Amino acid sequence: MTKAPVTVTVTGAAGQIGYALLFRIASGALLGPDTPVKLNMLEIPQGLKAAEGTAMELNDCAFPLLSEINIYDDANKAFDGANVGLLVGARPRTKGMERADLLQANGGIFGPQGKAINDHAADDIRVLVVGNPANTNALIAAASAPDVPASRFTAMMRLDHNRAIAQLAEKVGAPVADIKKMAVWGNHSADQYPDVSYATVAGKPAADLVEAAWLDEYFVPTVAKRGAAIIEARGASSAASAANAAIDHVYNWVNGTPEGDWVTAGVASDGSYGVPEGLVYGFPCTSNGGEWEIVKDLEISDATRAGIERNIKALEEERDAVRELGLI
Ligand SMILES: NC(=O)C1=CN([C@@H]2O[C@H](COP(=O)(O)OP(=O)(O)OC[C@H]3O[C@@H](n4cnc5c(N)ncnc54)[C@H](O)[C@@H]3O)[C@@H](O)[C@H]2O)C=CC1
Ligand SMILES: O=C([O-])CC(=O)C(=O)O
């Protein structure tokens, strides 16, 4: 029997990540090669014309799995019946903008989108927030969707996770496929703590293969500041790698993580590792093909503890700021 199409809503569909993401969703990379997709694209009015151009190109690909394309500038319509929501469109920080202004502007986007999800999405809705500040935007969207379990609102830490794997693979001269159990704790910001404590390279502890000084002085800052380095080199922020990470996150959420490995996902804390409940925080996670589960009871070194605490502080500050603004 042919499967019913899964409705995937992408916000910021006419942006640079949108352009790198939509074709892969339509090709089957997001949900698997047997799952037809109905694509709902959400844009602001100024973005609609470009979204139409992208929709024309999607048509021209004649993807067998793409059952329908719709373009909206109304979140209530775009999320109607949505099973997966990729919240990419966000207000970037511009010159002279204070952090509170940025949080306020994004609250004006992620609050109403959370409410639209609450009121119109399918019961099995799964949301990945990509737009920055991703962790706190996910918190805002979740707070505006009281009827949807908070566990369904996640933030993208997978690009950080993939960047960390790539850096370690290059250092030790191993294929990326040999690297398991990488972790990136905390916030998708320069505060994040990429951690090789549990990582293995072809079964050997990664920590035995690299020097402590390389980890502290090169690995952690290189991964944490990679977004800025890409902007410096490309003149624009990461787009294809961000789209790829979004695909990886949702694919593993829906289809499960590989046996003997985990990935990093930004999920609502259940209090694990002393992270206050409810903060959307990067943890090592597995999925059984439906729900993320935080990997529990890992032994935490002093360095990891310091990284975890730094990120708790940063995310609590963001949470308190949006609370003061009345956004959560
Ligand atoms: N979490 C992560 O790892 C990463 C996050 N990002 C973030 O992703 C976001 C998007 O990046 P790009 O695609 O490069 O930006 P972009 O500026 O190229 O595209 C953003 C699109 O969102 C649209 N948009 C703005 N407000 C909207 C709304 N209320 N509803 C629907 N659409 C709306 C804009 O019209 C624009 O077309 C940025 O916030 C960026 O910082 C980027 C890379 C990695
Ligand atoms: O800094 C940005 O806007 C892009 C970003 O999040 C990243 O590349 O990690």
Residues 199-224 have a mean pLDDT of 98
Decide: 230 in ligand 2 pocket, CB within 6 A: yes
ipTM: 0.99
Q: Which two tokens stand for residue 163?
A: 């960047």
pLDDT tens digit sequence for 93-103: 777 788 788 89
Which domains does the chain show, CATH number per domain? 6-155 (3.40.50.720), 158-318 (3.90.110.10)
Residues 159-165 have a mean pLDDT of 99
How are beta strands 280-287 and 292-294 bridged, if at all? Answer: antiparallel
Average pLDDT, rounded, for the chain = 96
Partners of 68 in the β-ladder: 38
Query: Residue 234: is it exposed, middle or buried by C-beta count within 10 angstroms (0-12/13-18/19+)?
Result: exposed
Q: Which two tokens stand for residue 79?
A: 């999320």
Residues 189-196 have a mean pLDDT of 97
| Alpha carbons 70 and 89: distance in angstroms, whole number | 17
Residue 30 pLDDT class (50, 70, 90 cuts): very high
Residue 153 CA to ligand 2 center (angstroms) comes to 19
Residue 1 pLDDT class (50, 70, 90 cuts): very low
Measured from the Cα of 237, ligand 2's closest atom is 4
> Catalytic residue at 161?
no
Residue 12, annotated as binding a ligand = yes
pTM of the model: 0.98
- Which of 82-96, 188-202, 245-259 shows the lowest mean pLDDT across its residues? 82-96
Residue 226 CA to ligand 2 center (angstroms) comes to 8
Residues 62-69 have a mean pLDDT of 98
Decide: 88 in ligand 1 pocket, CB within 6 A: yes
Residue 43 CA to ligand 2 center (angstroms) comes to 20
Beta-carbon contacts of residue 319 (< 8 Å; ≥ 6 apart):
136, 139, 279, 328
Residue 54 pLDDT class (50, 70, 90 cuts): very high
